């Protein structure tokens, strides 16, 4: 088993996308990259903790590669938007790849470079690639949110 961590806006849709990938064993919505230990959703939304909403993905590398997970990440959001995705605005919605080792870092950097050179986006890619600090799982009601509540609940 291996772990990958991605921030691509609201974690609800991102988590659902990764859960559909064959070879993904489990996912967790949560918070990463901030200064407050074990933050709450309300603290993260205050913009004072520095955390991003993220998804931690446990996967079987024999069944799905990290490069395949990167493809899902790039397809699930607009990596040219700084601190926002669609109607969601704030630093907690930033685009980031939190790498767990040198192999992931090299793959993420190469993937980002390929995407930048592809011409798919007119604006520069702002996705951060940084070492993964402590990941804090979000509250239970955020876990598998779309599976429990449906897409209509996303932007109430």
More confident residue, 55 or 86: 55
Q: Which domain holds residue 59?
A: 2-153
* Higher-scoring residue by pLDDT: 108, 47: 108
CA distances from 103 to 20, 109, 112, 113, 116 (A): 24, 10, 14, 15, 20
pLDDT greater than 60 at residue 155? no
What amino acid positions are annotated as catalytic residues? 10
CATH number at residue 80: 3.30.1060.10
Give one DSSP letter per residue of 30-46, joined into a string: EEES-SSSS--HHHHHT
Tell me what pLDDT residue 153 has. 47
> Treating both helix axes as pointing N-terminal to C-terminal, what angle do 11-19 and 66-75 enclose, rounded to 10 degrees?
140
* Structural domain count of the chain: 1
Beta pairing, strands 128-131 & 95-99: parallel
51 pLDDT higher than 80: yes
**Phi-psi region for residue 20, left (φ > 0), alpha (ψ -120 to 50) or beta?**
alpha
Question: pTM to 2 decimals?
Answer: 0.91
As beta bridge partners, residue 26 has 58
Q: What is the pLDDT of residue 139?
A: 77
From the list 26, 25, 11, the residue with the least C-alpha distance to 73 is 11
């Amino acid at each position: 088993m291996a772990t990958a961590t991605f921030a691509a806006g609201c974690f609800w849709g991102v988590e659902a996308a990764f859960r559909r990938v064959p070879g993904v064993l489990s996912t967790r919505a949560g918070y990463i990259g901030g200064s407050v230990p074990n933050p709450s959703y309300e603290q993260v939304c205050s913009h004072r903790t520095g955390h991003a909403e993220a998804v931690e993905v446990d996967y079987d590398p024999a069944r799905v590669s990290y490069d395949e997970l990167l493809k899902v990440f790039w397809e699930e959001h607009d990596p040219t938007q700084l601190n926002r995705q669609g109607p969601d605005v704030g630093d907690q919605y930033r685009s980031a790849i939190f790498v767990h080792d040198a192999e992931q870092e090299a793959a993420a950097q190469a993937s980002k470079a390929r995407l930048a050179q592809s011409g798919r986006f007119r604006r520069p890619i702002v996705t951060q690639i940084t070492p993964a600090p402590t990941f804090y799982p979000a509250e239970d009601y955020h876990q598998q949110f779309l599976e429990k509540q449906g897409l209509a609940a996303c932007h109430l």
